[in-house]
Structures are given as structure tokens and as C-alpha cells.
Structure 1
């Protein structure tokens, strides 16, 4: 770099006379002496002046406050000579640059070997930073590519320095950083073999003094590969490399050893590792794992001790010098990173404490006769938590006790426990009202469920669970518009509330808005892609919209997730039947019948299919099975008898009709068939007997037909893909989540094809009925399934 010419000169200036000079003879250059001003004229030896004459008889005493020989040049004068160089001799010496024969100083060459190596090193550092930045942003693929490129550049840097003899300037730390970053990126991309190979290369390099600690990372790779014995080996080798002064690191490694033992099912060894950590460096995660190990071993006493140890772990709150909490972590005004981290730690600690209490409470005390041990266990856990100064968590455990009553179907005790919270703080009252609404809804008491749901909404208008329960109550009363509005409000409060979105789709389906229902279920499928109920409802919506190809596409996906499900197979058969593909429909219906042989819709379709194709021998077993499943339905027995007659087995047909008449003496259809058969067989006496009974039965049937009918017709049915309300429903609580309300997905044992219903109604003409009457009469399974007969 070019320096200032004046800065190149230091020390004593040559060519200056020994004698003092007057002010008129003062040179224009700066004083070159390093002595302090005002000390008189300096001698050649550099000693300060003392006020006496120096170097001559004419010397004068020191009377000036300036140097006796020199003074600063005027401000207007230039410090440089004519040629621009520094002139300490006042123009009497040569002028020009510092080296008159060579010109100005040259800049250092940028193409030199050392500068090239530095440039390559800067590129390696840049690639390292870019790799870590990509990893932080979640782009792991690009992070790995950058790490590989940094490795290549670093190896090129090593070769360059070796070629130019610059091995002494080799940057070992940079080599370590590049190799370590590459191994980490391999690990993040689940390339464990490459990561282990890279870690091994680093550890074997003797130049890296602390590389042995990377065995922890190797243990993590083995752990993620579920090679737990190898992971334990690496953790123990890393433990030997860590000095005893690094206690926190040592105990973290011991915690990892405990995790590996727990994965292997060696809970006793895991317990020893966790015990050691809890004694020296306790934390909530290790305390919870210790409780789990004690629970797995079934040791009640150790479970209580471990839970007490968990409660003794200091809470992760910010405290001042007096030990008091400095700030309230729940307040939204604190939003910096530190408070966010403290808030996360607090939530994690509370969640682990509650989970541990709910885990061990049913087991820490044995049941004795009428005294269930789980009640005592919950009470003990709640008492321990409250004594530790966490009253809010104690209330959570008491609420968990009420949920435990619900799981054991002890509804009275559950209601009693929940009502204890009605006079406590608002947050607890809201949750209690939500749970009570859910409980009453399960019991079928819609009015009480509505009451508590309204109470929960009054306490907290933005409680999505309470709004779902409100919608469930409206749905149970068949007020589908109100239910839809409640579900929409719940989704507005909590956009990812799966229960609200699912129930919203059901409500849209009940209102006939299949496009809106499809939109709701499609959104839920994106949130919960592996929900079989949602996939089924999407297919049902496409079926209702007439988009059968899309419906089959979704059902194919569903069939891979739930193979051999009879409801799905029957649904696929019904869609193929609608599209006219009878072969595929027969295949799916046959598979559904093989899986679940008592589905009446499937049985009726199979029987009707074989009748349609005049294969009566194959239809008989299906109708006979239907008659045994529904013995009170005479139509199935009539179909069996008619099939026997169609195949020419009149004896079995006659016996079957007689048996039907014995159990159903007033059945008009049976008597008609008996008269017809007896006439064909020449049984005149029996013909007269059955004719008399037939006329009597017809008069009785006419009287019944003249009477007003009560209730809805038997032929009502649901739209395709939907089943009738089957009760039970889905309230939503903070601890118990159930299925959606009354209108659930179609039962897997109920075919959703509306044309599979059984036609009914006495006195209707047979389809295509010709002269003499058709023996199929009123037992038809639908005009589009059975052909007409003569």
C-alpha cells in the first residue's frame, strides 16, 4: 500500500548544523527531533538543553518558549517540495519521491500465490455460510449441495498451498468446519451412511484435537437408524472424551444413553441413566422419562418417587435476585425471542407434568373391593402438584379424573366431579361447561347439552369446541341451517378445527348443497390426509354430484388404506352398477358379501342380479339367507319359493308356500300362489280350501288399506352416500374427542346406493305383470333391478 512520504522518515535529520539558528534561518520542514519542545537547543547526543550556551561563544540563554533551532512551518506553506516529496533540508537537498531512482511504491500483486489462496479461502467461508443459511431456511437439499461444493473448494485450497510451499499457513479450523458441516448436512438429509463415513474421517484425523466428541453425532445417526446398541457404544465413547468439568454435556450424553436403553426395552438400565441425570442436572424431560420407566417396570413406590422428583425440578421462569418471578410469561406484551423461549419451556413443563400424572394416577394405588384405586391416585397426584405451588395444574389433574370417570362409563361421578369447577375461575368454568355439554349429548339429553353449550359460549365467545357442541345440538334437532352457521363460526374462530369442518360438510350434505360439502371435506383432507372417514365422504359427495369417475378414484385410494372393508366394496359396486358395468359391480358386491355376509343391501342386489340373468339356482342361497336374517319379512321366503318354481322344483315350491301360509295365514300373495300351484297340480280339494282363505284375506287387506296410514312410508331413503341418523354424536371437549354428530359417514355395513332399498306396499302390481299374475308380486327389489315376468 502506498504510504505518505513524510511518514517514512524517523529519527535525527541529517545535515543540520550544531549551532543555533535564528528565526530568519528557520527551515520550512517540521522539527525532526523527538525531544519535548521548550527545553532549549538539543545537542548531538540528544540531551535536552539546560539554558546555557551550547556549541559556541555566542550562545544565548534560553528565553523562548520554542525550540532554539527550529519552528513549525507556516500553515500556508507546503510540507512537500516542488516535486511533492518531503524536504527536511528546506529545499537544499534533492527533491522528488522517497526513492528518486525507482518511482512511486507499487501495490501488492493480486495474482500472487498467497493472494490466490486467500481468495479461495474466502469462497470456502462464503459457501459454508450459505450452506448453514439454507439449512436454517429448511432447504436441506441445497444446503447439502453447498456443503459438498465447500468441501471441493477446501481440498483445492490445500493443493494450492502445497504447490506453492505455503503449508505453514494451512487453516486447520477451516478444514474441520468444512468436514463437520458436510457430515451434519448428510445427517439432516437422512443419508446416515455418508454422514457416519464423514464423521469417522474427521475423528481419525489427529490434527483435530476435540473431534472425539463427534461420536455423539455418530450415536445420533445410529439412534435414528434404530441401531440402538451401536448408539449406546458411541455415546459411551463420547462420554470418555468429554472432560469432567463439562458436566452439562456429560449429562446430556447420559440422557441419550437412557433414551437408547428405553427404546431397547431395557427400562432398568434406562432408569439408572435417568436417575444419574436427575440427581445432578435435573430437567422436566428427563423427569418425565424417569416416570415412564418406573411405570413400565410396574413399581408403584418408584412411580411416586419419580413423580415427586419431577415436581422438584425448578420451573423455567425468569426470576430476579429475590427469586420472585420477574414477568408474567402469559402476557402477550412480551414477544421477544427470550420470552418466547421461556414461554415454550413453561408450556412443555406443564404438559409433561400433566401427562405424567395422568399416566401413573390409575396405577400407583391398587384397587380394593369397592374402592377403585384410580380415584385415590388422581387425588394423590393433584395434592402433590398443589403442594408444589402449581394449583392450576392441580385443577387440570382433577378434570382429568372426571374424564377418567367418563372412560369407565361412570357418568354420575363424572358429572359430580365436573360440577365442582362451576364456581372456580372463568377458564375452568368454560372448559367444564364444554365437557358437560359433550357428556349430556352422549347421553342423548340434547336440551341439557344445549344449555351447557350456550353457557360455554357465553363465557368465551371464541371457544371453537363450545361452538361445535352448539352445532351438534342443532343438528340433532334437524335444524341443519343453524348447525351449519355454528360450524362456520367455529371454523372462523379456529381455522384448523377438524371437527367443525367435518360436521360442516355433513350439514351441507343434509341441506343438499353437495358442492359446498365437497369443498369442506376437500379442505379437511388437506389438513388430515390419512382420515378414512374424510376420504369416504369426498367420494360420497362426488357420487351425489354424479361424478362417478372421481368417486371411484377416491374409493380406490381408500381401498388401499382400508382393504377388505365391506362398506367401501359395496359402495364401489353400487357406482359400477350405476355406470352400467355389471361385471365389476358383481365382483365388488361379491367381495363385500364374502367379507360381511349379513349386509341386507348386498344380499338383495346379488339375489336380484341372478334373477335378472335367470340364474335362479344362484339366487336361492341369497334369498334364503335373507329370510333367516329377517324371519319376520315374508317377502324373502316368497322369493325362495318362487325361485324353486322357476327351476321346476314344484314339490319344494309347494312345501315352501305351505310353510309360509302356516306362519303367515293372512298373506294374500302366498294364498294366490298356493291356488295357482294347486290348480296346476290338479289338487281340487286344496284349491277350494285356499280360495276361501284367499277371499277372506283379501277382504281383510281391503279393510286395512282403507284405514289411514301412520308414519312415513317404508320407501323413504337417504341420498346416495349418506345414512340415516344413528344417534350418538360428537361433542367436543378439551380431553375427549369423539366422532362427529349424528350424521356420520355411511356405515361400512350399509351400502349407500339408494336403489338398493326394498320396494314395499301391498296391492301394487307386479312390474311387467302379465295375465295370470306374476309370482314375484310385491317382493321386487326395485324396478331397475328385476325384469318383468309373464
Structure 2
């Protein structure tokens, strides 16, 4: 059959169009939109992370400015934000892009701010969170911070545990870091009193990374163990450490202006400052170590010990410190009151360089001033100034010598010159205040003492002097305020209470005066002045029976003063204890048989009591005593008149022959110098000390100026050379300064 081509029918529905391409376009747009959302969310999270980083920076800046509380608040807010960001990442499925460095910095900053605010338990918890998180790497150093917190809490065993765990996680090639951790372990063992373990830690440091601090601490451990041989070896190892400071590279050796400008620029940069600090640390460590071990390395013979240390120092790169050790040896003799060996050592140093010569002459001036050899003290003070005219200690000592001669105006000039060299020279400020008081320049004295108070804020001695100047100026309210401030520092000082009582007494406030004098008496019952005031107060208040108890105590404290015995008997007589008063008068007569006043009271009392026989006996003794006293007075008058006539006759016979010689002496200026001057000063001082017992209205009769001596702050007896007040009846009134010893703190 014939096949005809037939038209085919459409296999698609009517009105249907292919849309494969359109379907593909729609899917492409959906993928692009989903990618944009993820990118936008990532940008939002990163923006929040940048703000968190800024908050961390702001927290650190606040902490550096001292606003620790504000820094902690910002750190907490940053941590809160960081947690929210982490939750957002988890919800969005973007955990792969989490910034672990930011998370670590936020948590670490929170812990640091807790520690800065003394919230140690919270800080330890924050550090513990970081340490336990295994995501963070190299967190072993965090345990050093934890160990430091335990050290501050005095939990030294826990501190050692943390330091050792940190040491295990620090790689061996970090030698400096490991040495510092070992030093902290040694400090903890010292605090625990385990000196052998501490020495082992420091020995490890000295073998791996020797330095001055661990070397000094090693010597200190051997000192605590009383091991003389190991002290010697450790001292030699300390001397073998190099400071790494090259002084020659800062010296100008050519005329090249460019090189000179370069050297001038680098001589004051931060590296040069670091080198100076290291050199100072080296010198201080060596000198302190020598001072510590010298008395113990040669069978308790400190002189031989110092000689050994000096010889070792001379053979080391630090040979210039030998002279300093010689000076400290002389000062050690001074502390043992051996003046002659100290003088011999210091005089041997006069041929050294100018700095050493100035120090030795200054100390010689101080020694002679203590011995009241003012001429020699002035001479050596002048020599010290010739060697170094900018030595403030020598200027102070020179001022003291001229003040000793009574030239207060010149002493003021020396003190002012010392302050121009060193504005914080406490000795110069204190002595300047005393000198200004002596020449009646109260405003200048007040200014000096207030400046000194700004330097030594807790020194009650300075506060007392400020109060005394205000009292002399008539401002009793200010004086009371400063005395109370001094009393808040020195709580149990009876003299301060006594001064407050005297001021209140002068103002008529008897109740306050009684309270302060009574408090002073409770603290120190042996003060005659306080006892006398309390007894007088009870007599005025018509309580003679209480006054009798105080006079009885005064007679025990000062048994050679007849006044207290008489006042005690008078109080007993006033109370009505006539027989007891009579017995007291009889005892007093036995102790003081030449007291006319006692016999008069005995005659009067026996007469009143109708004891005629005893009254006649005492009256007869009184007549014999009067006769004896008259004969003695006549004899003394004859002797003194004969002596005066003999001196006048001898002077007339020598007047002609010595006229030329006297003229030569006046011309040469020998009158009033040397011993004569010092003798007059001593006589005046003794007269003042006698009259000081009768001081009225609590006026200061004189102040004693103590000389200064060029001693480093670390010398244990340095407080003995500080100026002290000595006013009227308060020769023993001293205010002690407590030196703050450096503690072993972890680095």
C-alpha cells in the first residue's frame, strides 16, 4: 500500500511555552540572595567585634589612667557583647569565622581588671576559665598571673604550684622567661622560710641566666643559712656578672660636630636611661651584699670581712666601688662608737677622686661635730665643699657648724644653698626651719616645715614643729589641729598629749587640759612635768588627797628634789593626816638635813601638836643650821674676794709686758675661736638644759640641730643621722622614722 505523509500532531498543549531558561534564571537569583544575606550578617558581626575591640582598648586606657573601676565596667560590657556575638554566630551557622584572638583578649582583660580592683577571687576564676579552654594556645603564662595573685594573698604554697605549672609549659628556649619564673619560685620559698630550696632556685638561675637580683638574693639565702663559705662564693659570682654598660662610647673623642651631636642625642635617650638603671642596680647590689656578709665571713670580725670584700671588689670590673665600701666600714665603726678607727679610714680616703674625697671629709665633719670639736668640723666641711661644691650634705654640715657658733644668718644661707642643689633635702629643710625660728622669722620657718611635710607626709616630728611655729605665732587653733594630726600618726606619744594639754591650759580650758595630761600620764607615768601639773590641778580643785598621791610618785621618781617631799607632806597636813605628815617631814629631814624649810615646818607642826620637847629640839637644830650657813657664806665670800684681788694684782703686773702680745692676738683674730667658742656653746647648752626643767607655758627653749652625714638610705642606722627636735624639758622626745624595707615581690 502506498504510504502518504501525514501531518503530525503537536505533542505540547495549546498555549504552553518552554520555560527551562526562565527556571534556571530564577534559581540563580535565589542563590545570589542567600549569599548576600550571609555576607551582610558576617559584616554586622565583624562590626560588633570591632566595637568590642575598641571597648577593650578603652578599658586598658582607663586602667592606665588610674580609673580601675571604670575600666572594669567597660571590660564587663565588652565580655557581655562578645558572648552575644558568639551566640549570633552559632545561630547563623558562622562559627567557622569566630575570632578566637578577640575572645581571648576580652576574657584576659576582664581578669586583669578584676586583679587591678583587688577582686582576687574573681580574677582567679576568670584566669581559670582561660586556662581550662583548650582552644586557647600558649596559656601557660597565665599561670604566672595566678601565682602572683596567690603571692599577694600570702598563699605561697599555691603560688609555687602555679609557677611550677607555668614553668612546665614554657619552652626551654625562652631562657629569660624561665629565669623570671624561677626567681618568683625562690621569692616564695624565702617567704616560707625554706632558704635551702630558695637557694637551689637562685643557683639554677645563676647557672642559666646570671643577673644581679637573683645573685643578691642567693647571697641573702646563704646569709640566712649562716654559710660563710657559700657567701664568699656567691659574692664572687655576683662580681663576675657584667653590667653591659660601655661608658666610653658616650665620650667625645673627636672634633667632628656631627659625631658630637649624635653622642649628645643618644646620651639622654631611653637606652641610656636603661643603662644607668642597670649600673645603679649593679652597684647597689654589690655594696649591699658586701655590707651584709662582711661581719660574718671572717669569724664575726667585720673589719677583716670588709677587707676581704674590698680586695675582691678591687680585682673585679667594679673596682671604683672599693672606696664606697671603705666609707661603709668607717660608718660601721661609728655605729659601734669607735671613732678613732673611723677617722683613720676616712682620712686615708682624702687622696681619692673628688667624689670620694667629698664624702669622706663630710663624714669627718660629722664625727667632729658629734665630739663638739666645732673648729675641726667646720674645717672638714669646707674641705668637702672644695672637693664638691654641689654636695648638699656638706652644705648642711657647714651650716650646722656656723649655727653652733651662733651665726644663724650664715647657717640659713648654707641651708638655702643646699636646697638649691637638692630641693628635697629633708635635713636642709628641717634645719632651715629651726634657724628661721631662732632669728624670729616664723613665716619662713613655717614655709620650710610645710615643704618638708609634703615630702614626709607621715612624720610626726615635722607636724610637731609646724604646730610649735603656729603656737609661737599665736594661732593656737592651728597648733591644736597639727598636734592632733601628729597624734593620729603616733598614737601613743605622751609628749604630744602633754603639749596639747599645755595649749588648752593656756586657753583656760581646764577640762581638756586635764584629759590630755591624764592620758599622757597613763602612757608615761614617769614624767615629772605631767605629774606636777596633775597635782597642781587637784590642789586647785580642792582634792589634796589625790594631789598627795602624785607628789608621792614624784618624790620616788626624783628623790633628790626636796620640793616633792615637802609638797607631799603639805597635802597630807591639809587633808588632816597630821601624824602622817609629821612622819613625812621627819623622813625628809633625814634625807635633807641642811634644808632650812623642812626644819621650819617641823618646828611649826610640833608646836601646833603641843609637842614642846621635839619643837625645842628642831628649833635648836634650826639655829645651828642658820649659824652654819652664815659661816659658810662668810667663808665663801672671803675666798672669792681674795681670789679676785689676786687676779687683779697679777693682771696689773702683767699688763705692761703683755700689751704688745695682746695687740698681736687681736690682730691675728685668735680671740673667740677654737676651744673658746665651743666652750661657750657648751656652757650655754648646759645652762639651757638646767633651765629647761622650769619651762613655763610650754615654750620651746632651744632646738638641737643634728648634722647630716652622707649615708645611703639602706644603712640600718641612717635614722640616727636625721634631724631631731630637742625642746625644753623634752631632751628624750624623739619621733622614730620607720624605713620601708624592700620586699621580694614577684616579677
Which among 291, 310, 313 is matched to residue 382 of structure 1? 310
Matches within 5 A, 1:127-276: 127-276=55-204
Please state if 1:326 is matched with 2:249: yes
Which among 545, 548, 556 is matched to residue 617 of structure 1? 545
The SS at the match of 2:238 is helix
Equivalent pair of 2:569/2:581 in contact (CA under 8 Å)? yes
Matches within 5 A, 1:421-436: 421-436=349-364
Deviations 1:119-161 (A, max 9, x none): 2222223233333334444444444344334323333333343
Please state if 1:564 is matched with 2:492: yes
Q: Distance in 2 between matches of 1:656 and 1:184?
A: 76
Which among 728, 731, 741 is matched to residue 708 of structure 2? 731
Q: Distance in 2 between matches of 1:169 and 1:235?
A: 34
Matches within 5 A, 1:151-550: 151-318=79-246, 326-327=249-250, 334-367=267-300, 373-550=301-478
**TM-score if structure 2 supplies the norm length?**
0.77
Equivalent pair of 1:399/1:418 in contact (CA under 8 Å)? yes
Q: Distance in 1 between matches of 2:179 and 2:79?
A: 33
Equivalent pair of 1:382/1:394 in contact (CA under 8 Å)? yes
Q: Distance in 2 between matches of 1:719 and 1:492?
A: 38
Q: Distance in 2 between matches of 1:165 and 1:111?
A: 12
The farther-off stretch of 452-461 and 287-296 is: 452-461
Equivalent pair of 1:536/1:745 in contact (CA under 8 Å)? no
Task: Give structure 1 stretches of 5+ with no counterpart.
Answer: 1-107, 320-324, 368-372, 753-790
Matches within 5 A, 1:573-722: 573-657=501-585, 667=595, 669-670=597-598, 672-677=600-605, 679-681=607-609, 686=615, 689=620
Equivalent pair of 1:623/1:636 in contact (CA under 8 Å)? yes
Deviations 1:713-770 (A, max 9, x none): 9867668656555868233223445355575367768899xxxxxxxxxxxxxxxxxx
1:676, CA displacement in angstroms? Answer: 4.0
Q: Distance in 1 between matches of 2:499 and 2:612?
A: 50
**TM-score if structure 1 supplies the norm length?**
0.73
Q: Distance in 1 between matches of 2:230 and 2:732?
A: 51
Pairwise CA RMSD: 3.5
Q: Distance in 2 between matches of 1:473 and 1:277?
A: 51
1:496, CA displacement in angstroms? Answer: 1.3
Q: Distance in 2 between matches of 1:233 and 1:515?
A: 60
Equivalent pair of 2:142/2:166 in contact (CA under 8 Å)? yes
Deviations 1:595-644 (A, max 9, x none): 33332211211221222222222222322333344444333333233333
Q: Distance in 2 between matches of 1:429 and 1:254?
A: 42
Q: CA, structure 1 residues 607+265, in 2 after alignment: closer, same or farther (shift >3 Å)? A: same
Q: CA, structure 1 residues 667+388, in 2 after alignment: closer, same or farther (shift >3 Å)? A: closer
1:568, CA displacement in angstroms? Answer: 2.3
Deviations 1:238-276 (A, max 9, x none): 112122232332222222111111111111111111111
Q: CA, structure 1 residues 311+328, in 2 after alignment: closer, same or farther (shift >3 Å)? A: farther
1:234, CA displacement in angstroms? Answer: 0.7
Q: CA, structure 1 residues 722+285, in 2 after alignment: closer, same or farther (shift >3 Å)? A: farther
Q: Distance in 1 between matches of 2:327 and 2:593?
A: 61
Equivalent pair of 2:596/2:622 in contact (CA under 8 Å)? no
The SS at the match of 1:421 is helix
Which among 700, 704, 726 is matched to residue 744 of structure 1? 726
The farther-off stretch of 436-445 and 614-623 is: 614-623
Partner of 1:776: none
The SS at the match of 1:422 is helix
Q: Distance in 2 between matches of 1:231 and 1:258?
A: 11
Q: CA, structure 1 residues 485+701, in 2 after alignment: closer, same or farther (shift >3 Å)? A: farther
Equivalent pair of 2:143/2:162 in contact (CA under 8 Å)? yes
Partner of 1:551: 479
The SS at the match of 2:390 is coil
